[in-house]
């Protein structure tokens, strides 16, 4: 569904289907289509229900995104009297945003994005090449694992295990005796 494509099969849609398609069109920045779908969904549902209020809130956003701020403000102000407390609260929040003054940003706050359209046509001479790090400059050393000669390893028992077991036994016996 594009912004220019007519909505011929609109008569076959239920209010919920039109609402969901309107949300999808809104998310794809097809605001004219989304407004048409939201208005269709609203005409097929109760405007004073919570669902009707939700549809109207999306309609406010679609009007504002399309640039029709006056229609968005008018609809949003009418939603302040909606029977649903949720809709009234959301309308109040949206109205606060819609009535907020547009801030002027100095040019020095903005970052200019360079035109990269000519990048594909450029030669290899102006392509970015990352600098080599210290690790890249040094030759990599392989870890050498030597075979261990077991005849050189000291395998004699030094009685440490027996001394430690004796000390633990004495400690346990003394705790049991004085307990």
**Domains (ranges, CATH) in the chain?**
12-98 (1.25.40.10)
Reported confidence tier of residue 1, pLDDT bands at 50, 70, 90: very low
Q: Which residues contact residue 61 at a Cβ distance below 8 angstroms, ignoring those fewer than 6 apart? A: 26, 72, 94
Q: Which range has the worst mean pLDDT, 26-40, 45-59, 143-157?
A: 143-157
Sequence-separated (6 or more) residues with CB below 8 Å from residue 60? 72, 75, 76, 79, 91, 94, 98
Contact, 15 vs 44, CB < 8 A? Answer: yes
- State the pTM of this model: 0.56
Stretch 50-58: mean pLDDT, rounded? Answer: 93
Looking at residue 8, what is its pLDDT? 60
pLDDT tens across 13-41, in order? Answer: 888 999 999 999 999 999 999 999 999 99
């Amino acid at each position: 569904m594009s912004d220019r494509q007519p909505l011929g099969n609109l008569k076959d849609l239920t209010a919920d289907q039109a609402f969901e398609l309107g949300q999808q069109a809104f998310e794809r920045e097809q605001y004219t289509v989304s407004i048409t779908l939201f208005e269709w969904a609203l005409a097929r549902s109760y405007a004073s229900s919570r669902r009707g209020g939700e549809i109207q809130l999306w309609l406010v956003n679609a009007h504002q995104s399309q640039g029709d701020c006056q229609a968005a403000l008018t609809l949003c102000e009418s939603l302040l009297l909606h029977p649903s407390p949720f809709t009234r609260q959301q309308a109040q929040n949206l109205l606060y945003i819609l009535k907020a003054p547009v801030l002027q940003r100095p040019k020095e706050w903005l970052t200019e994005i360079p035109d990269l359209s000519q990048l594909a046509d450029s030669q290899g001479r102006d392509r970015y090449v990352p600098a080599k790090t210290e690790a890249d400059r040094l030759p990599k050393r392989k870890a050498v694992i030597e075979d261990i000669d077991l005849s050189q390893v000291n395998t004699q028992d030094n009685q440490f295990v027996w001394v430690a077991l004796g000390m633990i036994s004495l400690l346990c016996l003394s705790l049991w005796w004085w307990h």
